[in-house]
Structure 1
Amino acid sequence: MSATQRFCAQESLALGDPLAGSAAHAECNLLLSWPRAKWRRSLRQASDMSEEVSTRLEAIAEEGRRVNLIHRRSQPEECHRLYLMPENRRYEVSRNELSTFLVALQRGAPLAQWEIDPPAGSLLLCCTHGKKDKCCAKFGYAAYKALATAVDLYELPFEVWESTHLGGCRLAASAVVFPTLRKYGRINDEDVLSLLESEMANRPYLPCYRGDSRLSPIQQCAQVAALEWLAARGIHGEVSVAQPSNEQESSRWWLAVHWQSGSDTGRLAVYCEPRMIQRYDTCADLAAGPPAASQVWVATQVMDTGKASLYS
């Protein structure tokens, strides 16, 4: 197989690179609609942006709010849709007022003159940033089309957008749901409807779930393991994951997980192990030589009230 036919997402899958623990994402976000054809390799820059807008977006990012460009064909090019997350606020801003809006945002000034009704349902972004990685163009765009088609066909309460880089190109197709900040990877056609149904029930779709972005990688690993353990027993509920214990046993770390489903509650102990794998993070790395060594977390055991249950 030649280098031009290889994809980091396929290499990652063949390697057994886990999804759980890969969901890092800033909690505060600014999403700005901009035609995909104009996107640059940077997740927040476009070729036809004015220098002032470009500079403002960089400053906003430096102040701690992640900036992504988003796109869908129905959005007029000169009228920009913007979202603030986790505030779940939505705005419509003309191209010639965009700099004024961004200045007001930075200063904490009122934005009411541009604000429109908040989203009626969840916002679902699917990375299609081909200038960043060819996996996102190939697998990400296919997933976006399937998700958008299903939402339109079944009239589901989602806004689906293409997005610039969401992190984890090797896990394409990659998506994030706002305002819950649940991240997904390796979305295939057969996952689309089940993922949307799970999100409508306010539950993560476990086959593609990467974790809660507000947790650390080891906590995400424990969270996904606990949710899968519960789902195997027909239990769907909320889980909260404690910080890992300071005590280390044979290179394993245990995390306490509390779960609640209606009036039922329980506690689990999830054992996680760090492992080193040789992987390519992006398609650009494929031509750069041997893959880099990266640490991942793997859940090896889930225990309930002192009774060990092997997790595999």
Structure 2
Amino acid sequence: MSATHRFCALESLALGDPLAGSAAHAERNLLLSWPRAKWQRSLRQASDMSDAVMTRLEAIAEAGRRVNLIHRRDQPSERHCLYLMPENRRFEVTREELPVFLDALGRDEPLTSWEASPPAGPLLLCCTHGKKDKCCAKFGYATYKALDAAVAERALPFEVWESTHLGGCRLAASAVVFPALRKYGRINEEDVLPLLESEIAGRPYLPCYRGDSRLSPMQQCAQVAAMEWLAARGIHGNVSVEQPSGEAASHWRLEVDWRSTNASGRLAVSCGPRMLRRYDTCADLTEAPPSASQVWVATQVEAIEMAKPPS
């Protein structure tokens, strides 16, 4: 089969490439609305973007804030909606004023003259960046439409946007929820409503959850395995993953503390490295052989402490 008829997302799934451990993402983000038809391959450039705007966006990215372009059909093309995350601030800026706004942001000056009311609920960004990867066009756009329709039909408290590259093209359809910064992958139509319901409840939707981006890939693996172990026992709560200990040639043991409304405990999760030969993007499919990548797989979860509060 030629590379034009292959999709990295389908090959990743067939290979058993795990979702857990793939959630790397910057905590500080600038989201800028821009018509999708003008997006370029770069996650923060558009074909009709002025040099002044591009230069300022590059400077903001170099200073440590990730910049993504976002799109929604009802957003006017010459008036931009911008979000700062995790601050959860929203701004409305005209195309003409945009360089001035970005200058003020870069210099950490007050932005109050552009500030609008904050989002009424979580932002849900779904990658549809077809110029970056064809999987994001094929699988991402279908998932975006399903998410947007479900939110509209049920009047759910989400703002759903299309987005440029979110990382992990091979895991399309991929999405991220702000300000919680939960990353998801391989979202199918049957996942849409359960994912939204889980997010409303303030917890990740585990079948598509990639992990906490503030943790290392190995810790994300342990986190997801612990949450799945707890969910199988009807327990939902907060988990905290400690630094790994007991490093060995074949596995690492991590301890995970958890707390629900009526109980708490500690789990020991063993995670082992696994080498895969995979294609990270559809553009890589023309290369032979695929590149070697290390992933993490949970091999054992055991309870080492459990307690309930006194009645």
Name the TM-score class by shorter chain. Answer: over 0.9
Query: What's the counterpart of residue 260 of structure 2?
Result: 261
Query: What's the counterpart of residue 282 of structure 2?
Result: 283
Letter of the 1:303 partner, please give it.
E
| SS in structure 1 at match of 2:49 | coil
Identical amino acids, percent of aligned pairs: 78
Would the aligned equivalents of 2:170 and 2:281 in 1 still touch at CA under 8 Å? yes
Query: What's the counterpart of residue 3 of structure 1?
Result: 3
Q: CA offsets per residue over residues 23-42 of structure 1, 9 Å max, x none?
A: 00000000000000000000
Q: Distance in 2 between matches of 1:305 and 1:60?
A: 46
Matched, 1:300 2:299: yes
Letter of the 1:119 partner, please give it.
P
Q: CA offsets per residue over residues 272-312 of structure 1, 9 Å max, x none?
A: 001100000000000011100000000000010279xxxxx
Q: Distance in 2 between matches of 1:112 and 1:3?
A: 50
Query: What's the counterpart of residue 43 of structure 1?
Result: 43
TM-superposed deviation, 1:9: 0.1
Query: What's the counterpart of residue 137 of structure 1?
Result: 137
TM-superposed deviation, 1:161: 0.2
Q: Distance in 2 between matches of 1:212 and 1:83?
A: 21
Query: What's the counterpart of residue 169 of structure 1?
Result: 169
| SS in structure 2 at match of 1:294 | strand
Q: Distance in 1 between matches of 2:89 and 2:280?
A: 33
Q: Which segment drifts farther, 212-221 or 61-70?
A: 212-221
Mapping of 1:1-312 within 5 angstroms? 1-245=1-245, 247-305=246-304
Q: Moved runs in structure 1, 4+ residues, more than 3 A?
A: none
| SS in structure 2 at match of 1:214 | coil
| SS in structure 1 at match of 2:104 | helix
| SS in structure 2 at match of 1:193 | helix
| SS in structure 1 at match of 2:96 | helix
Q: Distance in 2 between matches of 1:282 and 1:243?
A: 31
Q: Distance in 2 between matches of 1:59 and 1:3?
A: 36
TM-superposed deviation, 1:2: 2.4
TM-score normalized by structure 1?
0.97
| SS in structure 1 at match of 2:264 | strand
Letter of the 1:13 partner, please give it.
L
Gaps of at least 5 residues in structure 1 are 308-312
Q: Distance in 2 between matches of 1:233 and 1:187?
A: 24
Q: CA offsets per residue over residues 130-157 of structure 1, 9 Å max, x none?
A: 0000000000000000000000000000
Letter of the 1:36 partner, please give it.
R
Q: Distance in 1 between matches of 2:37 and 2:176?
A: 21
Q: Distance in 2 between matches of 1:194 and 1:61?
A: 34
Q: Distance in 1 between matches of 2:124 and 2:96?
A: 27
Number of residue-to-residue matches in the alignment: 306
Q: CA offsets per residue over residues 44-73 of structure 1, 9 Å max, x none?
A: 000000100000000000000000000010
Q: Distance in 2 between matches of 1:264 and 1:130?
A: 46
Letter of the 1:284 partner, please give it.
A
Would the aligned equivalents of 2:132 and 2:165 in 1 still touch at CA under 8 Å? yes
Q: Distance in 1 between matches of 2:42 and 2:260?
A: 42
| SS in structure 1 at match of 2:257 | strand
Letter of the 2:276 partner, please give it.
I
| SS in structure 2 at match of 1:49 | coil
Q: Distance in 2 between matches of 1:222 and 1:274?
A: 12
Q: Distance in 1 between matches of 2:167 and 2:289?
A: 21
| SS in structure 2 at match of 1:235 | coil
TM-superposed deviation, 1:4: 1.1
| SS in structure 1 at match of 2:288 | coil
Q: Distance in 2 between matches of 1:32 and 1:248?
A: 43
Q: Distance in 2 between matches of 1:197 and 1:240?
A: 23
Would the aligned equivalents of 2:270 and 2:298 in 1 still touch at CA under 8 Å? yes
Gaps of at least 5 residues in structure 2 are 307-311
| SS in structure 1 at match of 2:215 | coil
